[in-house]
Chains A and B, each alone.
Chain A
């Protein structure tokens, strides 16, 4: 059975599913309790589970994230909400220096079963300090898992997996898509990490993305089909660490052309890694250099038109696909 639900509802459903099943699951974050959550993800949970399991924290990311790590080291399964991932910089010392590394420097004596979740990226005119995509930042650190679901079904299924994982999971939600709807499987639909999803089958070019850029690629694929008769395959990476290299390589072996799309800046980004993996593992199958479509190299602007210009557009993706197909000049 599957029902249409919002991304927001899907996340909440996963947390409720696990909180009912496992008392060690607790939530911490700013205004997640009495207030209901800034993004209403945790709405109603305070009444349902009480203040010892739904812990309203002061505005102090470093403190409560560190406390959650301590809880996790003791066997609890805390889920920390970053009101937005931008604020996680304040907790970066805890996430990077403790959560990611303590298993290693304790010689494997501790586990950190912790989920840190919240909206990633921009798109709603929040300007520079509230608009940031952190996938390559956190994806850089061994010890962390990093996932970025885009469909409501994945939001639920990957959250179930994240909560059950014995490692710290950076759960990057498609914040701009909280209200979007999709079919969500009932019950336990846990989605394993490290498996990409073919969001659209195609034969002429592979568009590779994650998070809300997947939807952009799907629209670009429709445009390419309508305007150029090009069949684009869209790969939703879903999980960035672990990373499904095989899915990309398989698709490129079929299409021989690839475009990697990311909202974040081009330099040192996930798309660079995608391009490198393709040249490493599928070089002989390539008919054109891999294109990258990225955000403009500026702090995010406020004005709507500038913000739109700062992020990849459907047109930019379609044009990049045309370039790797040699339908358009570089």
Chain B
């Protein structure tokens, strides 16, 4: 449990890199490239949404890149990841092809889930990605069950369970956290809760949505160790992720980290007016853009120069434009797909067509 809680609220309480080995400059540059790719992908999504090529809802990850990038550095083969509807980054960072992800958003047969899920339901079970889910908090119990199953099978895998600040007020969260705490006593719940506190559940701020705003501390009620990390600082996230993942893997007990971050982009691509927050506030957080922070650090350390930065950004834009092209040119799902994947087994469909 976090020893010191005097900084409750949204100020990150960053632990020093006690045991972690510092990430090498080369690796940080690679991760910088991944964050830039995620940003470029999300920018392209927003454009495509406005062009009417993406339907439904679209929730982008802009501003939060360091969170998934950093925590997934601790991902090992055999682990699982589950998250809510802001799931593009998780899929991309787990190695899903940007073209397939974009094709899913475009509703094409080449999409990650054959055009049946869209933005909110990306899955890649082979890569350990157990999916994105559209009901706030509804996936949290699933993640706890996944963690139980990993131990039941006798593996040392862990489940990285991402949830937003909005989900933490939901009954499913409290019920699942209680189960995780209980099962963890017997070493049966290697669940790594990652609260992506981006300050808003849709348009309602954390302060206006939750009675006690220290989200990490909510886990105290369930005997789950917890801490906060500055979710804008990739290096801090990586340090935390590796240390915590190791501990969860070893003990089979859950642990929670509140990553304090900010959704620079609107909630959804249709959230045009942003009446719930000020331009000044967004600007303030933009100054802490995780990509900008990392860029600055890497420049200072001579791990990057302006030329290399442009090269990385160009490469990302190139990959994303190829992804858009692939999505654009792919076919729509065939009509036969309407009735497949409802049931597993011989009786693929039951009922009236």
B-binding residues in A (CB < 8 A): 26, 51-52, 57-58, 60, 62-76, 78, 93-94, 97-98, 102-113, 142-143, 145, 165-167, 194, 241-243
The reply to whether B123 and A106 contact each other, CB–CB distance below 8 Å, is yes
Contact A103 B141 (CB under 8 A): no
Contact of B123 among A68, A109, A142 (CB under 8 A): A109
Given contacts A64-B179, A66-B142, A66-B175, list 7 more A-B pairs with CB under 8 A: A52-B188, A63-B179, A66-B172, A71-B146, A108-B340, A109-B125, A143-B342
A residues less than 8 Å from B111 (CB atoms): 107
Complexed CA–CA distance, A70 and B161 (Å):
12
Asked if residues B176 and A66 are in contact (CB atoms below 8 Å), the reply is yes
Across-interface contacts of A76 in B (CB, < 8 A): 149, 152
Contact A69 B125 (CB under 8 A): no
Q: Which residues of B contact A67 (CB under 8 A)?
A: 141-142, 144-145, 148, 176, 179
Q: Is B341 an interface residue (CB 8 A)?
A: yes
Counting CB contacts under 8 A, is B112 at the interface?
A: yes
Output the nearest chain A residue to B177 by Cβ-Cβ distance.
A63
Known: A67-B148, A93-B135. A109 touches B113 (CB 8 A): yes
When distances are taken between beta carbons in the complex, the residues of chain A under 8 Å from B113 are 105-107, 109
- Specify the chain A residue showing the minimal Cβ separation from B175: A63
Q: Which residue of B lies closest to A107 (CB)?
A: B113
CA of A102 to CA of B117, assembled, Å: 9
Least CB separation from B82: chain A residue: A70
Q: Are A70 and B123 in contact (CB under 8 A)?
A: no
The yes or no answer to B37 lying at the interface (CB within 8 A) is: no
Q: B109 — nearest CB in chain A belongs to which residue?
A: A107
Given A66-B176, A93-B135: A103 in contact with B152 (beta carbons within 8 A):
no
- How far does the Cβ of B112 sit from chain A's closest Cβ, in whole Å? 7
Interface size (B, Cβ < 8 Å)?
52
Task: Report the 7 A-B pairs with minimum CB-CB distance, sorted nearest first.
Answer: A66-B141, A70-B145, A63-B175, A107-B113, A67-B145, A74-B149, A108-B341
Instruction: Determine whether B280 belongs to the interface, using a CB cutoff of 8 Å to chain A.
Output: no
Measured between beta carbons, the chain B residues less than 8 angstroms from A62 are: 141, 171-172, 175
Q: Within the complex, which residue of B135, B147, B179 is in contact with A60, where a contact is CB–CB below 8 Å?
A: B179
Q: Check if B114 is an interface residue, CB within 8 A of chain A.
A: yes
Judged by a CB distance under 8 angstroms, whether B41 is at the interface is no
Q: Which listed residue, A63, A110, A112, touches B176 by the CB 8 Å rule? A: A63
Chain B neighbourhood of A166, CB < 8 A: 344-345
When the two chains form their complex, are residues A143 and B343 in contact, meaning their CB atoms are under 8 A apart?
Answer: yes
Interface residues of B in 252-292 (CB under 8 A from A): none
Residues of B within 8 A of A167 (CB): 343-345
Question: In the complex, which residue of chain B has the Cβ closest to the Cβ of A245?
Answer: B352
A contact residues around B114 at 8 Å (CB): 107-108
B→A interface (CB under 8 Å): 80, 82, 111-117, 121, 123-125, 130-131, 133-135, 138-150, 152-153, 171-172, 174-176, 178-179, 182, 186, 188, 340-345, 347, 350-351
B-side contacts of A107, CB under 8 Å: 111-117, 123, 341
Q: A67-B148, A97-B135, A242-B347 are in contact. Are A103 and B142 (CB under 8 A)?
A: no
Does A142 contact B342, Cβ atoms closer than 8 Å?
yes
Q: Which A residues are CB-close (under 8 A) to B135?
A: 93, 97
Contact of A103 with B351 at beta-carbon distance under 8 Å, contacts A58-B182, A60-B179 already known: no
Cα of A142 to Cα of B176 in the assembled complex, Å: 26
Q: Which residue of A lies closest to B126 (CB)?
A: A109
Q: Which residues of B contact A111 (CB under 8 A)?
A: 344
Contact indicator B117/A64 (Cβ below 8 Å): no
A109 to B80: give the CA distance in the assembly, Å: 14
Question: A111 to B123, alpha carbons, bound, how many Å?
Answer: 13
A-B contact pairs, 5 of them (CB 8 A): A67-B148, A67-B176, A73-B130, A78-B145, A109-B113
Of A73, A110, A113, the most chain B CB neighbours within 10 A belong to A73
List residues of chain A with CB within 8 A of the CB of B117: 105-107
- Nearest CB of A to B223, in Å: 13
Q: How far is the CA of A75 from the CA of B139 in the complex (A)?
A: 17
Contact B142–A69 (Cβ < 8 Å): yes
Q: CA of A72 to CA of B130 in the docked complex: distance in angstroms? A: 12
Bound state CA distance, A74 and B188, in angstroms?
15
- Contact yes or no, B146 A73, CB < 8 A: yes
* Contact across chains for A66 and B145 when beta carbons are under 8 A apart: yes
With both beta carbons as reference points, the residue of chain A lying nearest to B114 in the complex is identified as A107
Nearest-neighbor residue (CB-CB) of A72 within chain B: B145
CA distance A103 to B347 in the complex (A): 14
Q: Which residues in A have their C-beta under 8 angstroms from that of B145?
A: 66-74, 78
Chain A residue with minimal CB distance to B80?
A74
Given contacts A62-B141, A73-B146, contact A103 B341 (CB under 8 A): yes
- Contacting pair A104 B116 (CB below 8 A): yes
Residues of A within 8 Å of B116, CB to CB, are: 104-107
| Residue of A66, A73, A241 ringed by the most chain B CB atoms within 10 A | A66
Cα distance A188–B150 in the bound complex, in angstroms:
30
A105 to B132, CA, bound (A): 10
Q: Is the CB of A58 within 8 A of B121?
A: no
